[in-house]
Amino acid sequence: MDKYLADYRPMSGVKFKANLKVSADLGWKPEKGHLMVFTVENDSRALVVLIPPKLSGIFFTKGQTYQVSLEVGEGGLVYADTCEKE
Amino acid sequence: MQTHVKKSNFLILALTLPCQIILAQSAPTPAPAPSAPPTSAPTTGSPTEIDSSTKTILDTIMNTKPAEGSAGKAGSEVASALADKIKAVDVLKTPGLDDPEVRARFQTYLSLKEVADLRIKEYFSKMAQVSDLLQAGHTFDAWKILYLMGEYKDLDAGISRELANRVESIWNSDQTKNRLEISNSTLQNNIETYNHNADMIAEDIRDEANVQAQKGKANTGGGGNNSSGVTAQNATNSPLASPNADPAAAEAAVMPTMASSLQGKMELTSEYLKLLEAHAKIKLNQMQENKMSDQDRLNFADYIKTLYNSHRYYHVIIAADFYRNLFNEGDYPADLADQAAASLGTNARTLAQSATQASAALGAAGGTGPLAALNQVGNNLAGDHAGKQQGGQPITLADEVTASLEINNRVSQAIEVFRYKADKGEIAAAAEQLQQAFLGNEYHPALQGLPRNEKEKVGDFLGKLEVLKNQLEVRDFEQIEGQITDIKKIAVDFDATKPMAMVNGIKLESRLRLGKARLLAQGGHLNESMQEFQTAAEEWPGNPDLQTSAAGFFSTEDLQNQSTAEFDRLVKDQNYRAIFDKQLAFAPAVKGDTNREQQLKDALTKVQKAEMASEKANLMVMNGDVDGAWETIEIAAKDWPDDMKLNKLLANLSGRSADFVSALNKARDAEAKKELGYSLTWYVNAQGYYPASIIANDGIDRLKKQILSPDSAGTSEGTN
């Protein structure tokens, strides 16, 4: 989180896993997926993640924590590849 | 800060006000007024110059308004009241010279060369001689001297010759009366003759009767009774009475005696009738004589009145002396004056009026000195006359003589005082004395003998006094001090206190009215302001403040040009705060100019928003909402990035909400680089610092739409 917020560019294309807690749902489009806001444990700062349509079966509830595989995409947009409820 | 909010409200009002009010708002107290500096006005520097727009307005006030009965009329009334005030100043009065005829005569007199003293003495010695001769009863000798006096035309003006003619006409009338008296004397002689003749005839008749009686006694032969005429007559008539007498013999006996007796009686009757006729003629002549005498007296008394009315008082006195001699009266007869006045009531009235006029001309009642004494003489005459008219008692000849003597005496005293005052340089007092003397008796020898150079001082003084009066009447106060100085050089006793007090009073009043006019103009009461301005100008046309005030009140054109030029410069410099500060001046100046009006509105809105933001930010800071305060200023600064005040405030707040500001800045930077995901993350973080952030929320909405619906800003759902 720190590295990303400091500068996302070195992390572009990098895949990593993180435990994220649902903070807010910014919106949804069937062809784009869910745009969610997560926080990491012990850090109040937020991270915006795009949940692709393939993961549309997951019902995110605010406050729940998920283990998510992430990839930093173009323009610093973070995509979720897999997502499992803890 | 509240002040600015109020100004904004005032601006809206100003924009809706009519153009006239522009002037009133040009100099508000709180804001620095853009009043036109005097040097910028297109003037030539003349103290009385007024620019064209002012001239037009003043022309309307002075020429149009008076006819409408408003400001100009008020000004005219003020001028009239001031003129009355000026006339009421004692030192400016010239008693008796209000009458233009008298004034002209007095001015002529002042310029005339004096009559030589020796000549005056000669003339008046002759006049004294006339009086003396009349008192001694030498009327004819006195009459002859009148012709000599008539030779002194400069002193006498032919009056003595005319008096001599009047006296001569009385004498001619006396000759007629003498003829009547001679006729009466003849008639009287005739009466005596008639009386004598009548007596003689009567005696003859008686003697005849006795003789006849003797004869009768002898014819009857005795009897011896001759005790009475009747008996004798009866005896004489006895033949006729006897019934037995022969009628023819009886008639023959009686006839001689009877014829003789009748003849004597007719002669007696004739003498008696002549006697009666003579008595009647005498009576008629006497009546005619008396009538002529009365008419002469009336005519002569009337002539004396004429002399009195024309102020020929010395001639009144000698004419009165002639009157006494001609009509053999020891004093002026009241009965004659009564008759004259009764028959010529108008003359009597004129006399009284003349006396009153003389006293009035000599000055105001209640004064002191010779003038008051002369007044008293006139008033007494007038008062007596008024009373006598009502009671049927007219003025007598004696009154005229007494008044003449009195007036001559007073005039002599006035001349003496004149000389005394003139010697001391007190020309003001000397002039008053000379006027009084002239009005009392302008033919007085003392007046005629006054040297021209002494009179010229008075003429000079009165001339300058007249100029001073004119200057006061037209309120040319700038010249008055110099004029008073000039007058004082001539007349050390001239008291300038009252004129100067009046001048200073009027000046002060004019200044106060100008102040009032300014206040009224500032209050938007332009009509009342104009009235006050005009009245102030009427009171003191030369008031140097008039021009300044006129420029301030009425020179809208210059003011407007200046204002628009300054406005354009400030717009170009984007100095909206300066425009805001001078909005009251600019609002009327740009009125009607659509482009400038919009520029002014924009500028004012900009400043208004900035000021509101500042105030809001201050309130937020006070409530601990520093991030909110920063964002408020940040949004305002976006509209007006060059405003120093906002930038300074923003810099202050940035340090106090660094995390929020930093997050927003990173979000904005990323957004600018199209790094949508990274930017959105930072907007979300910024919102975390300040959930109510407009910038953050707007950014989030904007970016999520772009990410989810890059081709359109379609609907989106989500929780926040």
Q: What is the least distance, in Å, from the CA of A33 to any CA of chain B?
A: 8
Model pLDDT, residue B248: 63
User: Searching chain B, which residue's CA lies closest to the CA of residue A6?
Assistant: B666
Model pLDDT, residue A20: 92
Distance CA B319, CA B337 (A): 15
Measured between CB atoms, does B706 come within 8 Å of chain A? no
Distance CA B699, CA B675 (A): 13
* Ranges of chain B with pLDDT below 70: 1-79, 82, 86-91, 95-96, 220-264, 329-395, 521-525, 550-561, 712-720
Q: Which of A25, A27, A76 sits opposite B677 (nearest CB)?
A: A76
The size of the A-B interface in CB pairs under 8 A is 81
Contact list in A for residue B699 (CB cut-off 8 A) is none
Q: What is the least distance, in Å, from the CA of A75 to any CA of chain B?
A: 4
Model pLDDT, residue B639: 83
Measured between CB atoms, does B688 come within 8 Å of chain A? yes
Please give, one letter per residue, the 3-state secondary structure of B471-508.
HHHCCCHHHHHHHHHHHHHHCCCCCCHHHHHHHHHHHH
> What number of other Cβ atoms are within 10 A of residue B672's Cβ?
9
Contact list in A for residue B677 (CB cut-off 8 A) is 8, 48, 50, 73-78
Q: What is the pLDDT of residues B474-500, one digit of tens each?
A: 778 888 888 888 898 888 888 888 888
Contact list in B for residue A76 (CB cut-off 8 A) is 670, 675-679, 681
Q: Which residues lie below 8 Å from residue B183, measured CB to CB, with a gap of 6+?
A: B281, B285
Model pLDDT, residue B524: 61
CB contact under 8 A, B677 and A73: yes
User: Searching chain B, which residue's CA lies closest to the CA of residue A52?
Assistant: B708
CB contact under 8 A, B716 and A29: yes
Distance CA B293, CA B395 (A): 21
Contact list in B for residue A51 (CB cut-off 8 A) is none
The residue among B693, B697, B708, B715 with the most chain A CBs within 10 A of its CB, best to mutate, is B708
Contact list in A for residue B704 (CB cut-off 8 A) is 26-27, 35
Model pLDDT, residue B699: 94
Contact list in B for residue A77 (CB cut-off 8 A) is 676-678, 680, 707
Q: What is the least distance, in Å, from the CA of B7 to any CA of chain A?
A: 45
Model pLDDT, residue B700: 94
Contact list in A for residue B715 (CB cut-off 8 A) is none
Measured between CB atoms, does B675 come within 8 Å of chain A? yes
Measured between CB atoms, does B124 come within 8 Å of chain A? no
Q: What is the least distance, in Å, from the CA of B587 to any CA of chain A?
A: 50
> What number of other Cβ atoms are within 10 A of residue B345's Cβ?
12
User: Searching chain B, which residue's CA lies closest to the CA of residue A48?
Assistant: B681
Q: What is the pLDDT of residues B283-301, one digit of tens each?
A: 888 787 777 778 888 888 8
In B392-525, which ranges are continuous DSSP H helix? 397-423, 427-440, 445-448, 452-473, 477-490, 497-522
CB contact under 8 A, A77 and B709: no
Model pLDDT, residue B718: 38
Q: Is residue A17 classed as helix, strand or coil in its secondary structure?
A: strand
Q: Is residue B213 classed as helix, strand or coil in its secondary structure?
A: helix
Distance CA B314, CA B404 (A): 7
The continuous run of DSSP H or E covering B565 comes out as helix B556-572
Q: Is residue B371 classed as helix, strand or coil in its secondary structure?
A: helix
Q: Which residues lie below 8 Å from residue A46, measured CB to CB, with a gap of 6+?
A: A23, A37, A38, A39, B681, B684, B685, B688
Model pLDDT, residue B32: 38
Phi and psi angles of residue B394, each rounded to the nearest 5 degrees, phi first: -80, 175
CB contact under 8 A, A27 and B674: no
Q: Is residue B229 classed as helix, strand or coil in its secondary structure?
A: helix
Q: Look up the CATH architecture of domain A2-85.
A: Beta Barrel (2.40)
Measured between CB atoms, does A14 come within 8 Å of chain B? no
Model pLDDT, residue B40: 37
| C-alpha to C-alpha distances, B267 to B186, B195, B271, B274, B325, nearest whole angstrom | 22, 12, 6, 11, 48
Contact list in B for residue A1 (CB cut-off 8 A) is none
Q: Is residue A28 classed as helix, strand or coil in its secondary structure?
A: strand
Q: What is the least distance, in Å, from the CA of B636 to any CA of chain A?
A: 28
CB contact under 8 A, A32 and B700: no
CB contact under 8 A, B684 and A46: yes
The gap between the terminal CA atoms of chain A, to the nearest Å, is 19
CB contact under 8 A, A24 and B718: yes
Measured between CB atoms, does B158 come within 8 Å of chain A? no
Measured between CB atoms, does B505 come within 8 Å of chain A? no
Model pLDDT, residue B130: 92
Q: Is residue A25 classed as helix, strand or coil in its secondary structure?
A: strand
CB contact under 8 A, B680 and A73: no
CB contact under 8 A, A45 and B704: no
> What number of other Cβ atoms are within 10 A of residue B536's Cβ?
25
Q: What is the least distance, in Å, from the CA of A18 to any CA of chain B?
A: 16
The gap between the terminal CA atoms of chain B, to the nearest Å, is 37
Burial class (CB in 10 A: 0-12, 13-18, 19+), B350: middle
What single-letter DSSP state applies at residue A12? B
CB contact under 8 A, A77 and B676: yes
User: Searching chain A, which residue's CA lies closest to the CA of residue B673?
Assistant: A75
Window 41-80 of A: residues touching B by CB (8 A cutoff) are 44-48, 50, 62, 73-78
pLDDT confidence tier of residue A50, bands split at 50, 70 and 90: very high
CB contact under 8 A, A76 and B709: no
Contact list in B for residue A47 (CB cut-off 8 A) is 681
CB contact under 8 A, B677 and A75: yes
Q: Is residue A85 classed as helix, strand or coil in its secondary structure?
A: strand
Q: Which of A26, A44, A50 sits opposite B700 (nearest CB)?
A: A26
Residue ranges of domains in chain B: 50-111+451-554
